[in-house]
Amino acid sequence: MNVIEVDNLTKKFGNFTAVDHISFSVSKGEIFGFLGANGAGKTTAMRMLCGLSKPTSGKGTVAGYDIAREPEKIKSRIGYMSQKFSMYEDLKVWENIRLFAGIYGIPE
């Protein structure tokens, strides 16, 4: 059983293509990783898989949920820590907490 399915996933920012038609699957229990240079699209691909960014085109599912149509269901079932996590220095601690809670749909 595949827990992640990706088919021709693409993300564009204007004319810039950050992720260009990637396809892969990850089976339950399989260890999988992204390798690539800075700017290769690894973080953008992860953000799409986590439901934090909608793809421009292509399809993807995580735990059986569509990344474009069901991001809240995905976010409630996964954990994600980016490489460079930091709080926004111009916000107070409680404002940072509220911001990140809002991203994940956690009620106040």
pLDDT, residue 13, reads 95
Question: What average pLDDT score do residues 46-68 get?
Answer: 95
Q: Which amino acid is at 62?
A: V
Alpha-carbon distances, residue 51 vs 15, 38, 39, 62, 89 (angstroms): 22, 22, 20, 9, 25
- From edge to edge, which strands make up the β-sheet containing 16-27? 16-27, 2-13, 57-62, 65-66
By percentage, how much of the chain surpasses pLDDT 90?
A: 61
Model confidence, pTM? 0.77
What does the mean pLDDT of the chain come to?
90
Higher-confidence residue of 12 and 96: namely 12
Q: Is residue 71 over pLDDT 70?
A: yes
Q: Of 50-54, 80-84, 99-103, which gets the smallest average pLDDT?
A: 80-84
Extents of the domains making up the chain = 2-78
One of 3.20.20.140, 3.40.50.300, 1.10.645.10, 2.70.98.40 is the CATH number of 2-78, namely: 3.40.50.300
